[in-house]
Amino acid sequence: MKNLGIIIALALFLVFACSDFDEKKAAFVTKLGNDTLAVEKFEMEGNSFSAQVILRSPQTTFTSYNLVLDEVGGIESMKTISHTLEEGFSGQGELTQSIQKVGDSLKVEMDWRGEKRTVMLANEQGSLPFIDMVHWPYELAFKNAVEAGTDTVNQKLLSGTRLSNFVIAAIEGDSMTVRHPSRGVMGVRVNRTGNMVYLDAGLTTRKLKVYREPFHTVDIEKVGKQFAKSDRTGNPFGELSGAEVGEFLIGDTEFRVEYGSPKRRGRDLFGGIVPWGERWRTGANRATHFYTSSDIEVGGLEVPAGEYTIFTIPEPNGGTMIINKQTGQNGQSYDESRDLGRVNMSVATKPESTEDFTITVEEAENGASLNLIWGNTVFSVPVEIK
């Protein structure tokens, strides 16, 4: 799976030094750890922009985009066409969405398996599309930001039927940042006219890296066939961080943990994508929830029966587990005033690596142990059942 017929040049200087660097057409390769998540090819002629995208999560999809820009570099019209695994980009596909600028509004028409819906939205000047885990719209946004000639630009991006504000800031030289409204800040490298060369989302919840490749070096049809074959043989990419529910019975006490389970994918975990000394949602997506049917003590902290959320601050010597009384929130939402308490974690290593982040409650000599397992690392807190 890691070798899918294309060579991905990761060194940025090779991109800049490449004699066939083209500002009008290129490819983007998106990596999550060692795995290729998406491949995009795009080209621009005048005010027309076209793109082909293969996205692998949760399963492989083929999508074509045709965008016409207005006089200020925003959406004039756009058509999104979804293709089947069998036909790839060679077939006509099925129109799934069209956007048309109408006066001061955007008319969005969606067709989901025969169910059609039309929405009129108030438009803002220079609005561009946002497509989750797809990055060609950023190419246009960064070029617009460079042309604006200011340190900070508020770029409106259309996701579904909602316009959201993405803040693009010039740092120095060829460096920029773009702030996603909910996921955090991404670092970007561009050339002098704003063409995106590299994007690092390592500080966001996505943890992606995007690399620019010359247009002619990526055979997107060939790559798509290999990805589709992997899906058909029962080996799809899967969810980036699947929702997991673990249920455990220790004596008469029921425990339940609900959490997002990211995969390792060859990445450095603790001290890497999970920094030491910083609060972590302890999984992905929604906050990690913990339920106990009995009154218990967790690391010496009295925890009445009920549901809580768990956050952690990993450290090389163990760190801290936070038990919070707020529930139902996203993992980025944390209210310290609602902490039930904080306890110390112990840490150990194990020889075999666990690919998927896992939480368990296991019976122990004096009760139970609440364990956080990922890679070769296990963080633990003792649990005493009242």
* pLDDT tens digits for range 106-125: 999 988 767 789 999 999 99
Bridge partners (DSSP) listed for residue 338: none
CB 129 within 8 A of CB 75: yes
Query: Is 3 within a domain?
Result: no
Residue 221: which domain range? 12-232
Q: What is the mean pLDDT of residues 354-381?
A: 95
One domain, residues 173 and 262: no
Query: Is pLDDT of 10 > 50?
Result: no
Residue 335 phi, psi (nearest 5): -115, 100
Query: Is 115 within a domain?
Result: yes
Confidence of residue 9 (pLDDT cuts 50, 70, 90): very low
For residue 92, the model assigns a pLDDT of: 81
Q: Which of 207, 232, 257 is the last residue of a domain?
A: 232
- Above pLDDT 70, what percent of the chain? 95
One domain, residues 29 and 169: yes
CB 332 within 8 A of CB 242: no
One domain, residues 105 and 180: yes
One domain, residues 18 and 118: yes
Q: What is the mean pLDDT of residues 243-254?
A: 94
Query: Is 132 within a domain?
Result: yes
Query: Is pLDDT of 365 > 70?
Result: yes
One domain, residues 317 and 193: no
- Per residue in 60-88, pLDDT tens? 999 999 999 999 999 999 999 999 888 88
Q: Which of 232, 260, 285 is the last residue of a domain?
A: 232
Here the tokens at position 78 are 């756009």
In total, how many domains does the chain have? 2
| Rounded distance between C-alpha atoms, residue 93 and residue 62, angstroms | 9
For residue 20, the model assigns a pLDDT of: 62
Mean pLDDT score of the chain, rounded to an integer? Answer: 91
Query: Is 44 within a domain?
Result: yes
66-75, 78-87, 126-135, 265-274: which range is least confident on average?
78-87
CB 185 within 8 A of CB 178: yes
Here the tokens at position 212 are 């620019």
One domain, residues 216 and 276: no
Query: Is pLDDT of 257 > 90?
Result: yes
Query: Is pLDDT of 140 > 90?
Result: yes
Q: Which of 206, 232, 258 is the last residue of a domain?
A: 232
One domain, residues 103 and 125: yes
Query: Is pLDDT of 323 > 70?
Result: yes
- Mapped onto helix, strand or coil, the DSSP state of residue 222 is helix
Query: Is pLDDT of 5 > 70?
Result: no
One domain, residues 161 and 277: no
One domain, residues 101 and 48: yes
| Rounded distance between C-alpha atoms, residue 47 and residue 44, angstroms | 7
Cis peptide before 58 (omega within 30 of 0): yes
- Per residue in 202-246, pLDDT tens? 888 788 999 999 999 999 999 998 998 888 888 888 888 888 999
Give the end-to-end CA distance of the chain in Å, rounded to a whole number.
49
Q: What is the mean pLDDT of residues 364-376?
A: 93
Q: What is the mean pLDDT of residues 253-281?
A: 95
For residue 29, the model assigns a pLDDT of: 97
Query: Is pLDDT of 17 > 50?
Result: no
Say which residue, 54 or 233, is predicted with more confidence.
54
| Rounded distance between C-alpha atoms, residue 144 and residue 124, angstroms | 14
Distance of CA 375 to the CA centre of its chain: 20
